[in-house]
């Protein structure tokens, strides 16, 4: 007889790995993770600098394109998501950021269930997961599985950025995940030391590998979950495809959906759970008419200001030819140098409207860089400041392209769908330009190549923003959590899908309002809290 598990998790990403570990280790359940991607990524992906080589490739990324966006003159920006065990944490840029206290307090206020999901409620989950190498205080823990540290190596451009931003009046902030978020500083990352080497601390390595050999944890990879089986109002099993063969596996207790914001919504709809009319359009039998499935999509997006420098600077050319060999050897022999950093080392949190609550995360990339589909700007010595909007007001959606599980869903990102999102972004482009005009940058900059000095008025800058806006890779919210009174909520405060027993969603899809920072740490905290709630239920 086929082995059964207490819980089956559809998708093996950031949230799923934490939840699986905690359900097994802390509560003694058996868990099966079914992940469509491979068990391992490439060796290079473990090196902090390695992920850049894979950003434009589909080895471990699924390259979604948004539907054409009228407000972006018909562009359909690329919006990649992970496909590998460990999910986003195995492919991402490793920035460790939690967002703001107000974000989680906003979730709690929306739910109206006391402190549940508030910052104070989430803090133990953030702390419990982390093994921080710098901070051990009321905000940080050192006993968790996820290794978190600062770059051992920072470049000249990063140092210039820290000084220029302070020159503009922004305070130096030693810890964006501590007392306050605003200010300029070095970001912590999810990497740490293994056998004397700095390596990526992805969710597989951090949370699953320590359970290696434990019969309570099953992992099937290269296996796509196609459908959740619902019998008499209860989710009982999943159907998945592996090597072209279809399998059905039953859960003794619950099915947990964690396929990431786009694919979790897709899986729900393929299972007949979603807006009835839309399901019928694709010939899918309606199990439950749930209007909110696929709605409420939010993502951070960013627009660049790019300048070249008069002299060599930053990391341009360090990944090619002799410098690459030298840097590789330095890393392998001494565990130091540029390979120990992702390259994006610092950022500035601030609000162009002047409040204390940042609405922009301005990254400093020490190179001329843009996604291929955005610009023909040639990589060279220079600096790229990207202004990333932290709480976009616009909402997009995820819909089915077809009833075929092999097809990607239709993603409508709706970047700049709200005029205020564009207003704040344009205001931040001006601040990015001020940074270029402030020492130590001022005397080092050769030329502003994008938007280019010729573009000054808001109309021209708005056009530029539409041509260049790109994702910061943080899709959230397509299966949002909300109170009973919220007709668009898909899950309640315990992450149970409304109207179906034995089914929860435990990944970034449940986010009601996107947090003001990178979303890997929030995904992991959600996975941790999900496991705790589930564990206490049985």
Ligand X SMILES: Cc1cc2nc3c(=O)[nH]c(=O)nc-3n(C[C@H](O)[C@H](O)[C@H](O)COP(=O)(O)OP(=O)(O)OC[C@H]3O[C@@H](n4cnc5c(N)ncnc54)[C@H](O)[C@@H]3O)c2cc1C
Stretch of 80-88, 122-130, 135-143, 151-159 contacting ligand X, by CB under 6 A:
80-88
217-220 and 31-34: which strand pairing? Answer: parallel
Q: Is 124 in a helix, a strand, or coil?
A: helix
Q: Is 381 a catalytic residue?
A: no
Distance CA 5, CA 101 (A): 36
Expressed in percent and rounded to 5, the helix, strand and coil fractions of the chain are 30, 25, 45
Residue 18 as a binder of ligand X (CB under 6 A): the answer is: no
Measured on CA atoms in the order 228, 229, 235, 241, is the torsion positive or negative?
Answer: negative
| Closest C-alpha to 452, from 315, 348, 313, 308 | 308
Choose one: 28-36, 102-110, 494-502, 529-537; the region binding ligand X (CB under 6 A). Answer: 28-36
Nearest Cα to Cα of residue 254 among 519, 71, 4: 4
User: Residues 5, 6, 8, 11: which binds ligand X (CB under 6 A)?
Assistant: 11
User: In terms of CB distance, is 95 or 429 closer to ligand X?
Assistant: 95
Residue nearest to ligand X (CB): 13
Location of structure tokens 């290269």: 222
13, 343, 366, 451: which one binds ligand X (CB under 6 A): 13
Question: Tokens 């392998």 sit at which residue?
Answer: 332
CA angle 122, 254, 279 (to 5 degrees): 95
127-146 residues near ligand X, rule: CB under 6 A = none
Query: Which residue in the set 340, 518, 525, 529 belongs to the binding site for ligand X (CB under 6 A)?
Result: 518
12 counts as binding ligand X under rule CB under 6 A: yes
Q: How far is CA 281 from CA 67, 68, 267, 272, 285, in A?
A: 18, 21, 16, 12, 10
Region near ligand X per CB under 6 A, out of 9-17, 23-31, 271-279, 439-447:
9-17
- Measured CA to CA, the distance from residue 100 to residue 89 in angstroms comes to 21
The answer to whether residue 151 forms part of the interface with ligand X (CB under 6 A) is no
- Residue 180 and residue 173 in contact, taking contact as beta carbons nearer than 8 Å: yes
Cβ neighbours for 474, distance < 8 A, ≥ 6 positions apart: 299, 300, 508, 514, 518, 519
82 binds ligand X (CB under 6 A): yes
Instruction: Give least dist CB 457 to ligand X, A.
Output: 33
Residue 343 lies near ligand X (rule: CB under 6 A): no
507 is a contact residue toward ligand X (CB under 6 A): yes
Q: Mark 254-273 with x for binding to ligand X (rule: CB under 6 A) and - for no binding.
A: ----xxx--x---x------
Q: Which stretch binds ligand X (CB under 6 A): 87-95, 358-366, 385-393, 490-498?
A: 87-95
For ligand X, which residue of 19, 46, 52, 91 counts as binding (CB under 6 A)? 91
Please report whether residue 519 would count as binding ligand X according to CB under 6 A.
Answer: yes
Verify binding: residue 512, ligand X, rule CB under 6 A.
Answer: no
Q: Are 341 and 152 in contact (CB under 8 A)?
A: yes
Q: C-beta of 52: minimal distance to ligand X in Å? A: 10
Q: Toward ligand X, which CB reaches closer, 183 or 260?
A: 260
Residue with tokens 């990524």: 41
Among 41, 92, 154, 296, binds ligand X (CB under 6 A): 92
DSSP helix/strand/coil, 496? strand
Q: Out of 34, 249, 284, 469, point to the residue binding ligand X (CB under 6 A).
A: 34
Regarding 495 and contact with ligand X (CB under 6 A), the answer is no
The total of other beta-carbon atoms located within 10 Å of residue 533's CB is 16
Contact 271, 256 (CB under 8 A): no
**Rounded Cα–Cα distance for residues 1 and 185 (Å):** 56
As annotated, the active-site residues are 474
Note the residues at the interface with ligand X (CB under 6 A). 10-16, 34-37, 80-84, 87-89, 91-95, 97, 224-225, 258-260, 263, 267, 473-474, 507-508, 518-521, 523
């Amino acid at each position: 007889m086929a082995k059964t598990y207490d819980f089956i998790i559809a998708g093996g990403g950031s949230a799923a790995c934490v939840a699986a570990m905690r359900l097994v280790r802390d509560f003694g359940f058996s868990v099966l993770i079914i992940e469509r991607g491979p068990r391992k990524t490439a060796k290079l992906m473990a090196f902090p600098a390695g992920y850049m080589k894979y950003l434009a490739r589909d080895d471990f990324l699924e390259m979604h394109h948004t539907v054409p966006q009228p407000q972006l003159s018909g562009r359909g920006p690329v919006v990649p998501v992970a496909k590998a065990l460990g999910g986003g944490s195995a492919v991402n840029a490793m920035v460790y950021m939690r967002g703001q206290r107000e974000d989680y307090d906003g979730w709690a206020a929306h739910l109206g269930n006391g402190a549940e999901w508030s910052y104070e409620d989430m803090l133990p989950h953030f702390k419990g997961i982390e093994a921080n190498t710098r901070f051990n205080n009321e905000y940080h823990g050192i006993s968790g599985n996820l290794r978190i540290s600062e770059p051992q190596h920072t470049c000249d451009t990063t140092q210039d950025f820290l000084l220029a931003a302070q020159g503009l009046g922004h305070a130096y902030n030693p810890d964006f995940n501590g007392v306050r978020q605003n200010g300029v500083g070095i970001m912590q990352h999810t990497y740490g030391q293994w056998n004397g080497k700095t390596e990526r601390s992805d969710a597989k390595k951090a949370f699953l590998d320590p359970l290696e050999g434990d019969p309570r944890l099953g992992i099937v990879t290269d296996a796509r979950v196609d459908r959740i089986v619902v019998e008499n109002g209860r989710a009982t099993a999943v159907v998945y495809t592996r090597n072209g063969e279809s399998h059905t596996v039953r859960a003794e207790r619950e099915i947990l959906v964690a396929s990431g914001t786009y694919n979790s919504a897709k899986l729900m709809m393929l299972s007949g759970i979603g807006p009835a009319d839309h399901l019928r359009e694709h010939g899918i039998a309606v199990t439950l008419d749930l209007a909110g499935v696929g709605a409420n999509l939010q993502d951070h997006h960013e627009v660049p200001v790019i300048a070249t420098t008069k002299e060599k600077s930053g990391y341009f050319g360090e990944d090619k030819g002799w410098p690459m060999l030298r840097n590789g050897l330095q890393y392998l022999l001494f565990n130091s140098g540029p390979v120990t950093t992702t390259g994006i080392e610092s950022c500035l949190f601030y609000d162009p409207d002047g409040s204390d609550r940042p609405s922009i995360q301005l990254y400093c990339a020490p190179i001329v860089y843009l996604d291929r589909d955005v610009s023909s700007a040639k990589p060279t010595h220079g600096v790229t400041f990207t202004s990333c909007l932290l709480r976009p007001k616009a909402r997009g959606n995820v819909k089915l392209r077809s009833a075929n599980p092999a097809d990607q869903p239709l993603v409508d990102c709706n970047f700049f769908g709200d005029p205020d999102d564009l207003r704040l972004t344009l205001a931040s482009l001006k601040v990015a330009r001020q940074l270029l005009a402030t020492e130590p940058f001022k005397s080092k900059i050769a030329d502003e190549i994008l938007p280019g000095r010729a573009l000054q008025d808001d109309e021209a800058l708005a056009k530029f923003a539409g041509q260049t806006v790109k994702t910061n890779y943080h899709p959230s919210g397509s299966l949002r959590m909300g109170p009973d009174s919220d007709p668009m909520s898909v899950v309640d405060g315990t992450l149970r899908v409304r109207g179906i027993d034995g089914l929860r969603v435990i990944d970034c899809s449940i986010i009601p309002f996107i947090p003001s920072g990178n979303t890997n740490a929030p995904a992991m905290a959600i996975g941790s809290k999900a496991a705790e709630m589930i564990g206490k239920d049985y």
